[in-house]
Structure 1
Amino acid sequence: MRSEVITVRTGSRPTVQDITAEAESFVSGQGDGLLHVFVPHATAGVAIIETGAGSDDDLLTALDSVLPTDNRWRHRHGSPGHGRDHVLPAFVAPYATLPVLGGRLALGTWQSICLVDTNGDNTTRQVRFSFLPG
């Protein structure tokens, strides 16, 4: 299995960051297999969604609705409402596995691989790509 870690700058505000190009570069020329994308953080996730047409902002709005940044959370260190960031991975898993055919990601027309980070306390994230040949 081939594996590599990349660093993604997410900034100090909630974000949905497209990492498809980095994933495509990682699997380029690798033949058939599976790409596993994993975010080794307790407050981030990986989503396969359409970007650029407002869906990324819609996802953040939906997460704010379901997981508001208010005072309800028992987990209280960090910025106000940070406890919700620790619940995020239950809604947006910290991993995704995708098919790779002929060294190319087998994504749908409008699908992108996105890092979802609502935690403004950490401005950079690690993402591990692992390729399992088939």
Structure 2
Amino acid sequence: MIEVLVADDHAFFRASVVDVLDSAADTTVVAECRGGAEVLPAFRRHRPDVLLLDLAMPGVTGLEAAREVLAVDASARVVMLTGDASPGSVREARRIGVAGYLLKDDDPTLLAARVRAVAEGGVAWSAGVHALGEASAD
């Protein structure tokens, strides 16, 4: 079973992601965080296989939370799940070593498969975002 931590400050969206993942046969959400400040303690407590982090959260952002987690465990599998496809955000996510960058308007039926790919050591990037991050890194 793939264990997932979901962090998003919007309760409705967070609950929707949890429903999608919990309905898949091989994924379960072990922790939900309302903000980035909750991510590192929840990561330490649950040690999930994959973390899905919203980029824009009040206080500690998703990128800041990802940095904190990856500083503690460089092998952590972090995926940004956001509505922000700006080159700077994508470039920073790539620089800190996230395993994926998914957009909130992607097809939700693909989410469990993307989480599975990341848990298995792969990556998950929304169409166009992966190339955007590569082009921006130059």
After TM superposition, the score normalised by the length of structure 1 is 0.27
Higher RCO structure (Cα 8 Å, ≥6 apart):
1
Give the structure with the higher percent helix.
2
